[in-house]
Structure 1
Amino acid sequence: MGTQSELYDRIINKQASMAVIGLGYVGLPIAVAFSKKINVIGFDVNEQKIRGYRSGVDATNEVGDGEIQSCSVSFTSNMEQLDGVEFFIIAVPTPVQSGNVPDLKYVKHASQMVGKKLTKGAIVVYESTVYPGVTEEVCIPILERESGLRCGEDFKVGYSPERINPGDTVHRLENIIKIVSGIDEDALNTIASVYELIIEAGVYRAESIQVAEAAKVIENAQRDINIAFMNELSMLFHQMGIDTKEVLQAAGTKWNFLHFSPGLVGGHCIGIDPYYLTYKAEDTGYHSKIILAGRHINDGMGKYIAQEMIKIFVRLKLDLSHARIGLLGLSYKEDCADIRNSKVIDIIEELQEYEIHPILVDPLVDPLVDQREVYSEYGLELSDPSDLHDLNVLVVAVPHESFTQMTFQDIDQMYSKRGPKVLVDIKGCYNKANFESQGYYYWRL
């Protein structure tokens, strides 16, 4: 077994290859970035996804079709292509299952696949979000069992949590400091050196794998709790008849006020990672108080918004059997096409309890690729923006830039000329006074 520094030399001299396992919002940008420096195999079990990448189509919109077409990643769903790979990065999803219990099936399966291909001197780095202890207590035993090799002696393992923010054009892979960790100092040094090839902001060497795992889950848990506080304030101020946004603008004039705002918290990071932390906490005998309280508030916001809408409809005596309601945005966050764990669905499902079926529009969701996913995942169908006419209610659920740039006239022409006009501007994108002065009933969190 050669030294880890020799492995680094072989990698940069293109005598050894890297494989990125899992080519979603995290794995794809990593594979593309590394391919500019070294030999990279991009592996995913989804053959349709691989065909798309081979034809130069970026379904994630994270790197763009041009980057896919010009990159040198060898895209494959064939495990045989992993033969001889010496540096693996595993970036598969880690969702939660019913009961908010961590679902490690993808990371376990990836570990089995990689274990079968491990050779002496190889390194495996996990990027998937996990609770502290998963890499060493769950993944390493699988790698050892499948390979017949010993971790620390025959191969090395590390953990480097992803910090990619889907849809963010400012905070990108290369300009976000990367946390790296390794099973020992030798592994840490090599892993750090490899990531430094693409991370312009530099790397932070965590003291242990568990420290790196814990750092990842608390980053999102902290944000989750802060947003939960804003959501609770919103519910409180609505009870008191006070506009939350106006309160936050006033409070925000203090130099050390934290600028968070109320809203829906979905996706596969902030809405999930805290459960990984609280699951591990329960396992050690500690019962979370603040973290789970924040999750409880944020998980209930979709239903709360829908119920507030129903109250408005009743007060305005809106005939729900004939009312036309449009809803803008289905993805879990603005300027992103990802619909996984979108909390907009909670609004829709609660409205459906009242036999209300809004017209759904989201121009970022690909009508060919993602429409099937929308139907298979949620049983819903997206409509064309041209269907937004003669409305009584418009719900701006996700503030995509194409929505926030709409003028009053753009919005007004979607409405019926008869009956009340209701605008539910969840994130408060528009000027409240403008709409109220024109006779609109305006509501925001």
Structure 2
Amino acid sequence: MYKELVEKKAKLAVIGLGYVGLPVALAFAKKISVIGFDINEERLNLMRKGIDPSNELSSEDFENSDITFTSSIEDLTLADFYIVAVPTPVDEKNTPDLSLVIKASQMVGKVIKQGNYVVFESTVYPGCTEEECLPIIEKISGLKNKVDFKSGYSPERINPGDKIHTLSNITKIVSGCDDEALEEISKVYELVVQAGVYKASSIKVAEAAKIVENTQRDLNIAFMNELSIVFDKLNINTFEVLEAAGTKWNFLKFQPGLVGGHCTGVDPYYLAYKAGVRVIKLN
């Protein structure tokens, strides 16, 4: 698949062009032929004019890109490598809302062909890709994962507003349904990720790594915020405390503040859901 993509005998499609999907699509479009799919035609019209609706990318990022922006499922039939980058929020009860990733899986099931690849980037709980998404694709397409098509998971690490830690210079975790898929998917992502890829041993490991990354950050910043409240009442400068504590080699240097991004405040609920922990929302 890698060879066909590089020689532009095959196309790559990115499903979901939000703050995650659009940078991925444009990065690949500098190297290979890309189909950018989104259901929001208003957003698509802006992208066709070189405007990022999320205000993360400049007009220059759209230049010299071999990409077609579309909301037509017919156009998706022209692709052979699918990347799913749709949102995965939680509902009012803090339960994972998989409706968009399920709809994307249904869509892939309608267009995927023998020998194609599908990679999920949407943040999910460990096991979701193989237990929820891939069975949908198999049922609709009539094709069998690992036999008729290949699959993988590569968690997004886009940090909104961060111009330093971007797609190209952050190590990309990749995983595949088997060794062949892992190698091909790795080579495809290496086209756009200069920092290189980390090959996870399984799809579940890659899913869990993403959850742990953001849950750790969420918990530690929340802890720093609580400490800041305590130290303020004690008339102690929190940042002086952290600077002093930071002289120890194994101190994790988190600071009080907002966690930032969409997933960081959401991912702990995905982990809690899979763990069977009941989460009560406090007002």
On whether the aligned pair clears a TM of 0.5, the verdict is yes
Question: What CA distance in whole angstroms lies between the structure 2 residues aligned with 1:71 and 1:64?
Answer: 13
Per the alignment, residue 221 of structure 2 pairs with 227
SS at match of 1:96: coil
Per the alignment, residue 143 of structure 1 pairs with 137
Higher relative contact order (CA 8 A, sep 6+): 2
Q: Is the 8 A contact 2:217 2:259 kept in 1?
A: no
Per the alignment, residue 242 of structure 1 pairs with 236
Q: Is the 8 A contact 1:43 1:75 kept in 2?
A: yes
Q: Does 1:85 align with 2:79?
A: yes
- TM-fit CA distance, 1:152: 1.4
Question: What CA distance in whole angstroms lies between the structure 2 residues aligned with 1:163 and 1:215?
Answer: 11
Per the alignment, residue 168 of structure 2 pairs with 174
Q: Does 1:20 align with 2:14?
A: yes
Per the alignment, residue 44 of structure 1 pairs with 38
- TM-fit CA distance, 1:266: 5.0
- TM-fit CA distance, 1:71: 2.0
- TM-fit CA distance, 1:172: 1.0
Q: Residue by residue, what CA displacement relative to the aligned partner does 1:20-65 show, whole Å, maximum 9, x if unpaired?
A: 0001111111111111111100000011110000011112233311
Question: What CA distance in whole angstroms lies between the structure 2 residues aligned with 1:58 and 1:15?
Answer: 28
Q: Residue by residue, what CA displacement relative to the aligned partner does 1:247-277 show, whole Å, maximum 9, x if unpaired?
A: 2233334444322111233531110111111
Per the alignment, residue 108 of structure 2 pairs with 114
Q: Residue by residue, what CA displacement relative to the aligned partner does 1:100-146 show, whole Å, maximum 9, x if unpaired?
A: 11110110001111110011110000000000000000001110111
Q: Does 1:214 align with 2:208?
A: yes
Question: What CA distance in whole angstroms lies between the structure 2 residues aligned with 1:34 and 1:214?
Answer: 26
Q: Does 1:200 align with 2:155?
A: no
- TM-fit CA distance, 1:241: 3.1
Question: What CA distance in whole angstroms lies between the structure 2 residues aligned with 1:8 and 1:258?
Answer: 39
SS at match of 1:125: strand
Q: Which moved more, 1:243-252 or 1:137-146?
A: 243-252
- Give 1:32's aligned amino acid: L
Q: Does 1:73 align with 2:104?
A: no
- TM-fit CA distance, 1:85: 1.2
Q: Is the 8 A contact 2:32 2:66 kept in 1?
A: no
Question: What CA distance in whole angstroms lies between the structure 2 residues aligned with 1:259 and 1:215?
Answer: 20
Per the alignment, residue 269 of structure 2 pairs with 275
Q: Is the 8 A contact 2:159 2:261 kept in 1?
A: no
Question: What CA distance in whole angstroms lies between the structure 1 residues aligned with 2:261 and 2:138?
Answer: 33
Per the alignment, residue 263 of structure 1 pairs with 257
SS at match of 1:102: coil
Question: What CA distance in whole angstroms lies between the structure 2 residues aligned with 1:249 and 1:202?
Answer: 33
- Give 1:269's aligned amino acid: C
Question: What CA distance in whole angstroms lies between the structure 1 residues aligned with 2:57 and 2:64?
Answer: 11
Q: Residue by residue, what CA displacement relative to the aligned partner does 1:288-322 show, whole Å, maximum 9, x if unpaired?
A: 9xxx7xxx9xx98xx9xxxxxxxxxxxxxxxxxxx
From 125, 132, 138, the counterpart of 2:119? 125
- Give 1:64's aligned amino acid: S
- TM-fit CA distance, 1:159: 0.3
- Give 1:99's aligned amino acid: K
Per the alignment, residue 55 of structure 1 pairs with 49
Question: What CA distance in whole angstroms lies between the structure 2 residues aligned with 1:133 and 1:201?
Answer: 27
SS at match of 2:263: coil
Q: Is the 8 A contact 2:30 2:64 kept in 1?
A: no
Taking structure 2 as the reference length, the TM-score comes to 0.95
Instruction: Name structure 2 gaps, 5 residues minimum.
Output: none
- Give 1:67's aligned amino acid: D
- Give 2:135's aligned amino acid: P
Q: Residue by residue, what CA displacement relative to the aligned partner does 1:150-207 show, whole Å, maximum 9, x if unpaired?
A: 1111111100001111111111101111111111111111111111111111111111
Q: Residue by residue, what CA displacement relative to the aligned partner does 1:213-269 show, whole Å, maximum 9, x if unpaired?
A: 001100011111111211111122233233323322333344443221112335311
Question: What CA distance in whole angstroms lies between the structure 2 residues aligned with 1:100 and 1:149?
Answer: 34
Taking structure 1 as the reference length, the TM-score comes to 0.61
- TM-fit CA distance, 1:8: 2.0
- Give 2:112's aligned amino acid: L
> 4+ residue stretches of structure 1 with deviation over 6 A?
none
- TM-fit CA distance, 1:11: 1.1
SS at match of 1:200: coil
Question: What CA distance in whole angstroms lies between the structure 1 residues aligned with 2:258 and 2:10?
Answer: 44
Per the alignment, residue 158 of structure 2 pairs with 164
Q: Does 1:94 align with 2:88?
A: yes
Question: What CA distance in whole angstroms lies between the structure 1 residues aligned with 2:151 and 2:250?
Answer: 40
Question: What CA distance in whole angstroms lies between the structure 1 residues aligned with 2:31 and 2:100?
Answer: 28
Question: What CA distance in whole angstroms lies between the structure 2 residues aligned with 1:256 and 1:8?
Answer: 41
